[in-house]
């Protein structure tokens, strides 16, 4: 099977859906001729023109406001927010409008929009450009939340998200954009709400999201050399969440580590831990462990950034604590 980078897989999904459905269009800062801040939209502007790949003013409020209006009147917008940190500027449009309109209009209004936003650190972009804020949006009824960790998942989940009639928050880690992986050609859909077991194991389950899936797989390799068998589960979508796959893995191994790059305190890992405690407590042979960022703004200096953000060694240490 051919290999694409994560960024290429996202662009292929956009291209295929824009060719299939003329109501799909992209809008955001520098998404057009420039090709996107991280180069993801690439040459789509050349194929589809400025009407369907729209450069906007530097106003996240305007970007999301326009997308909500377009979605409510029959279009399928895919707005890009250059860094997920800037979602803070347009929270009213997302939380009080997009998430609630279908409910408040008794199902007569649909808001089929996908908000793409890069998350995470690792590039010395400092405190205002390095956050992982996905847990905020999982708390809001009416929003779906997606976090692909591989190129194939990025393509399949983005296509599924664009076809969904609800607002979807689609989070892409910056460090995953250059990562290559096998990606099926043509139409390829990964359903929302279905987790994936990235590695089979028997001693401990690591539930990881986004970039931390790669870190978990690296940790699993290190631990395998010491005789520890690690199962890695990637939820892929946080809302809806595939509880069944996660619980089945925990019941099999009896131990669980939950890893995400977001700050540990009140991160989505806490929700997963609560679900496991409520529904699989009798199967646990050790306490649930969480791995996440320290409760500090992400520093600019690389050595400090590495200290604040979680990595492979943190997952290894957490596993060893409960084995």
Convert the pLDDT of each residue in 95-115 to its tens digit. 999 999 999 999 999 999 999
Of 137, 153, 182, which residue sits at a domain end? Answer: 182
Cα–Cα distance measured from residue 5 to residue 16, given in angstroms and rounded to the nearest whole number: 16
**What's the confidence (pLDDT) of residue 217?**
98
| Terminal alpha carbon distance of the chain | 37
How does pLDDT run across 286-305, given as a tens digit for each residue?
999 999 999 999 999 999 99
Q: 């859909």: which residue's tokens? A: 189
203 and 106 in a single domain? The answer is no
- Verify whether residue 129 is a known catalytic residue: yes
Mean pLDDT of 12-34: 97
pLDDT at 90 over 90: yes
- For 32, 124, 238, 284, the CA distances from 85, given in Å and listed in that order, are 21, 14, 19, 36
Active-site residue, selected from the candidate residues 129, 139, 173, 260: 129
In a domain, 26, yes or no: yes
Burial class (CB in 10 A: 0-12, 13-18, 19+), 226: exposed
How does pLDDT run across 50-67, given as a tens digit for each residue?
999 999 999 999 999 999
How does pLDDT run across 155-213, given as a tens digit for each residue?
999 999 999 999 999 999 999 999 999 999 999 999 999 999 999 999 999 999 999 99
Q: CB–CB of 152/188 below 8 Å? A: yes
pLDDT at 245 over 90: yes
Cα–Cα distance measured from residue 42 to residue 249, given in angstroms and rounded to the nearest whole number: 39
In a domain, 187, yes or no: no
What tokens appear for 160 in the block?
């599924």
Mean pLDDT of 116-140: 97
Mean pLDDT of 71-100: 97
In a domain, 190, yes or no: no
227 and 261 in a single domain? The answer is yes
Reported confidence tier of residue 47, pLDDT bands at 50, 70, 90: very high
Count of residues for the chain? Answer: 323
Alpha helices by DSSP H, listed for the chain, are 6-20, 44-48, 60-72, 91, 101-104, 134-138, 151-163, 211-224, 243-253, 268-279, 302-308, 312-322
Residue 158 structural domain: 3-182
Q: State the total domains in the chain.
A: 2
206 and 174 in a single domain? The answer is no
Q: CB–CB of 28/63 below 8 Å? A: yes
Provide CB contacts within 8 A for 225, sequence distance 6+: none
Of 182, 207, 224, which residue sits at a domain end? Answer: 182
174 and 289 in a single domain? The answer is no
Mean pLDDT of 209-218: 98
Of 120, 155, 182, which residue sits at a domain end? Answer: 182
In a domain, 189, yes or no: no
**What's the confidence (pLDDT) of residue 172?**
98
Instruction: Give the CATH number, domain containing residue 17.
Output: 3.40.50.970
162 and 226 in a single domain? The answer is no
88 and 215 in a single domain? The answer is no
Give the 3-state secondary structure of residue 199: strand
Q: How does DSSP assign 77-144, residue by residue?
A: EEEE-SSGGGGGGGHIIIIIIITTHHHHTTTS-----EEEEEE--SS---TTS----HHHHHTSTT-E
pLDDT at 1 over 90: no
177 and 317 in a single domain? The answer is no
pLDDT at 315 over 90: yes
How does pLDDT run across 133-153, given as a tens digit for each residue?
999 999 999 999 999 999 999
**What's the confidence (pLDDT) of residue 193?**
98
């Amino acid at each position: 099977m051919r290999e694409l980078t994560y960024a290429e897989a996202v662009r292929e999904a956009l291209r295929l859906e824009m060719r299939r459905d003329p109501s799909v269009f992209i809008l955001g800062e520098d998404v057009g001729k420039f090709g996107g801040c991280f180069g993801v939209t690439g040459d789509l502007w050349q194929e589809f023109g400025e009407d369907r790949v729209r450069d906007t003013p530097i106003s996240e409020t305007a970007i999301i406001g326009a997308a909500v209006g377009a979605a409510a009147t029959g279009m399928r917008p895919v707005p890009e927010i250059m860094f997920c940190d800037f979602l803070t500027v347009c929270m009213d449009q997302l939380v009080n409008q997009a998430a609630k309109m279908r409910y408040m209009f008794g199902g007569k209004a649909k808001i089929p929009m996908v908000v793409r936003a890069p998350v995470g650190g690792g590039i010395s972009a400092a405190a205002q450009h390095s956050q992982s804020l996905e847990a905020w949006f999982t708390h809001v009824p009416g929003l779906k939340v997606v976090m692909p960790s591989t190129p194939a998942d990025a393509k399949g989940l983005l296509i599924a998200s664009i076809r969904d009639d609800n607002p979807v928050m689609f989070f892409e880690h910056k460090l995953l954009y250059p990562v290559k992986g096998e990606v099926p050609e043509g139409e390829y859909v990964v359903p929302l709400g279905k987790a994936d077991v990235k590695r089979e194991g028997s001693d401990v389950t690591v539930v990881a999201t986004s970039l931390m899936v790669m870190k978990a797989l690296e940790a699993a390799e290190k631990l395998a050399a010491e005789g520890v068998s690690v199962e890695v589960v990637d939820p892929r979508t946080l809302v809806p969440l595939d509880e069944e796959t996660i619980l089945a893995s925990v019941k099999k191994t009896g131990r669980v580590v939950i890893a995400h790059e977001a700050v540990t305190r009140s991160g989505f890992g806490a929700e997963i831990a609560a679900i496991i405690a409520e529904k699989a407590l009798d199967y646990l042979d050790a306490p649930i462990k969480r791995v996440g960022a320290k409760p500090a703004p992400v520093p600019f200096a690389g050595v400090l950034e590495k200290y604040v953000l979680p990595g492979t060694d943190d997952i290894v240490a957490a596993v060893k604590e409960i084995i």
